[in-house]
Structures are given as structure tokens and as C-alpha cells.
């Protein structure tokens, strides 16, 4: 199968990181990029114009290497990803590779998931975050265990990082799914539904960075968060 992969960066209020994440993605992966700007207080386009590498970022926008889908009001990460999945199916992509906009994910790690997809194009691939660093909050470790348990309970399968937002979604097997969740809970729902439909889940370990607390999306401002560990 010829893979047509699109990189997706869902973002909500990541003013200090989103332009750098986009620049890093431009350098590290030669994939078209879709940023879903979910009602961020400062629109991503404006942040691009003010960035020290604004020329590079604005050229990428003009040339279509980066597209921005902007919602005027925050709708939730789950709905943002669902919009990206739908739009990508319509545009003929075969896969959506999602990474976070808060600088926690390194674009250079994308290649590991892409390499796996070449051999397993129908599988959903998770970048399983290495959680060895001291900076990983205990609450995140607990949240991951809790949601892994929940996925195991629903499916009988063991997944080591069911909360990771670093994922390669195969579009064909997922395209007719109906989802009920809108926020972070979507990432659990899509996993469970995919497993129920017989999609194989693969995981590959990735390095992650834990930014300073003030650069993370605050769970109190990103309303409706399911797991308190999402910080």
C-alpha cells in the first residue's frame, strides 16, 4: 500500500510552543501538516506571524505544507481529532499521525511510527512514552495505569500507553466509526472501538519531554477533561 500520511497537531492555548513544534515538524518530517487550532486565545496564525522564524512558517502556510483548521470556540481535543480524521479521509490520506502541540513530543520520533506503518498499514500505532524521567508527574503515571486498566477491562488486551497522544491512525479501518466523546476521553474511545473492530494495536517506545507546568494546558481551562492526570 502506498502510504499518504498527514501530520496532525491538535492545539489549545500553546502560545509558547506551537510555532516551534510546527517548525520542528517541518524540519524532521516531510509530511503535510494540519494544525487544529481549537479556539486558542491567540490564533496560531497570529503566533506564526510574530515568531522569529515567521518567514519560514508563513511560507509553509502559503505553500500548503502547513494548513490550519481553526475553530472560534474550544470544542475539545477529541472533536478536533475527529475533524482532522474526517478531513483527511476526504482528502485521500491513508493515515493521520498525531502529535501534541505543547512541545512534549519530538517530531523526530515520527519516523519510528512511520516505519512500523510501512509493514502494518492497517494497524493503529501508539508512540508509548518512556516514563522513566523524574519530571514525569506521579499523577500522569497513575492516569496512564488507570486508563490502561480500563482499556484492558473493555478489550482483554494489554496496552502500555493508552493515553499517549502520539499516534498513527489508519484512516480506512476507522472511517465509519461513530464516536461519543469530545475531549481527552476520545483517545480511549477510539482505541477501544478499534480493538473491538479487530484493528491491531502496535506500540513503539518514544522519548518525550515534560515541559514546565505553565506551558501545559491547564485541566481547569480545558474544560471537561476526563482524567485528572492529563497535565
Ligand X SMILES: Nc1nc2c(ncn2[C@@H]2O[C@H](COP(=O)(O)OP(=O)(O)O)[C@@H](O)[C@H]2O)c(=O)[nH]1
Interacting residue ranges for ligand X, rule: CB under 6 A: 10-12, 14, 36, 38, 74, 76-77, 80, 100-102, 104, 165, 216-217, 222, 230-231
Cβ distance to Mg ion smaller for residue 114 or 136:
136
C-alpha cell of residue 141: 503515571
- In the bound state with ligand X, the residue whose beta carbon lies nearer, of 39 and 121, is 39
* Closer residue to Mg ion (CB): 104 or 225: 104
Q: Which does 80 bind (CB under 5 to 8 A by kind): Mg ion, ligand X, none?
A: ligand X
C-alpha cell at 224: 471537561
**Minimum distance between the CB of residue 156 and Mg ion, rounded to whole angstroms?**
29
Query: Measured over all CA atoms, what is the biggest interatomic distance in the chain, rounded to whole angstroms?
Result: 50
Residues found near Mg ion in the complex (CB under 5 A): 102, 104
Three-state secondary-structure class, residue 103: coil
User: Beta strands 201-206 and 124-129: pairing type?
Assistant: parallel
Closer CB to ligand X, residue 73 or residue 90?
A: 73
Cα 65 from Cα 63, distance rounded (Å): 6
What Rg, from alpha-carbon coordinates, does the chain have?
16
CA distance 15 to 172: 33
CB of 100 to Mg ion, least distance (A): 5
Nearer to ligand X, 12 or 48 (CB): 12
Q: Smallest distance, Å, CB 227 to ligand X?
A: 9
Q: Which residues pair with 124 in a beta bridge?
A: 201
CB of 133 to Mg ion, least distance (A): 14
Of the candidates 125, 112, 92, the residue with the CA atom closest to the CA atom of residue 199: 125
Q: Shortest approach of ligand X to residue 64 CB, angstroms?
A: 20
Amino acid at each position: 500500500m502506498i502510504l499518504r500520511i498527514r501530520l496532525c497537531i491538535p492545539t489549545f492555548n500553546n502560545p509558547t510552543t506551537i510555532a516551534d513544534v510546527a517548525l520542528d515538524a517541518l524540519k524532521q518530517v516531510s509530511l503535510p501538516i494540519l494544525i487544529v487550532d481549537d479556539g486558542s486565545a491567540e490564533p496560531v496564525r497570529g503566533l506564526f506571524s510574530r515568531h522569529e522564524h515567521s518567514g519560514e512558517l508563513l511560507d509553509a502556510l502559503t505553500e500548503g505544507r502547513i494548513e490550519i483548521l481553526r475553530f472560534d470556540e474550544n470544542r475539545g481535543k477529541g472533536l478536533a481529532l475527529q475533524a482532522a480524521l474526517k478531513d483527511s479521509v476526504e482528502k485521500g490520506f491513508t493515515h493521520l499521525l498525531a502529535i501534541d502541540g505543547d512541545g512534549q513530543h519530538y517530531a523526530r520520533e515520527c519516523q519510528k511510527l512511520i516505519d512500523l506503518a510501512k509493514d502494518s498499514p492497517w494497524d493503529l500505532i501508539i508512540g508509548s512514552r518512556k516514563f522513566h524521567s523524574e519530571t514525569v508527574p506521579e499523577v500522569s503515571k497513575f492516569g496512564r495505569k488507570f486508563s490502561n486498566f480500563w482499556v484492558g477491562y473493555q478489550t482483554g488486551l494489554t496496552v502500555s500507553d493508552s493515553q499517549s497522544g502520539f499516534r498513527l491512525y489508519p484512516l480506512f479501518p476507522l472511517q465509519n466509526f461513530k464516536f461519543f466523546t469530545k475531549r481527552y476521553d476520545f483517545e480511549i474511545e477510539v482505541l477501544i472501538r478499534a480493538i473491538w473492530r479487530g484493528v491491531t494495536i502496535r506500540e513503539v517506545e518514544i522519548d518525550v519531554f515534560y515541559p514546565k507546568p505553565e506551558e501545559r494546558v491547564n485541566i481547569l481551562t480545558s474544560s471537561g477533561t476526563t482524567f485528572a492526570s492529563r497535565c
